[in-house]
Amino acid sequence: MHIYVLCSAILVLLYFLLAFNVSMNRMRARTGVGAGSDPSGPLNKSIRAHGNAAEYIPLFVLLFLYFGFTGAASWVRWVVVAITLCRLLHPLSLYLSADLNRAQPLRFLSSVGTYAGGLTLGVALLLRAC
């Protein structure tokens, strides 16, 4: 169960670090509302990174803890680790992108890993219900 709690803790810390980064970038840009005028600027990147994390992290933490506390097949823990790595790489890929409107390989990889991992855990959960 240790890995499930560890990965949950990592995602919770990531969530709040990304939120803090938005606040710091808002102060630097002196922008209280909105994303500023530069669509690929630091404020917009930090808002997108946190917003994306907010969409996925709460559900993943819930699933991780559920599988951790109820006991899961050993392969599930590898899915949990892969999802955690993808969620860590995603904000990094946004910050490394010169232009958020252009494709970025790391962003694509982290997104595909998030979707594949989430769908896999969803199927695992569905199989438990049957």
Predicted confidence (pLDDT) per residue in 1-54, tens digit: 699 999 999 999 999 999 999 999 999 988 878 777 787 789 999 999 999 999
We report the CATH number of the domain holding residue 125 as: 1.20.120.550
Identify the domain containing residue 14 by its residue range. 2-129
C-beta of residue 97 within 8 angstroms of C-beta of residue 52: no
Q: What is the pLDDT of residues 44-64, one digit of tens each?
A: 999 999 999 999 999 999 999
Task: Tally Cβ neighbours within 10 Å of residue 35.
Answer: 19
Q: Which two tokens stand for residue 54?
A: 């907010």
Tokens read off for 128: 């438990």
pTM of the predicted structure, to 2 decimals? 0.93
Structure tokens at 53: 């994390």
For the chain, the domain total comes to: 1
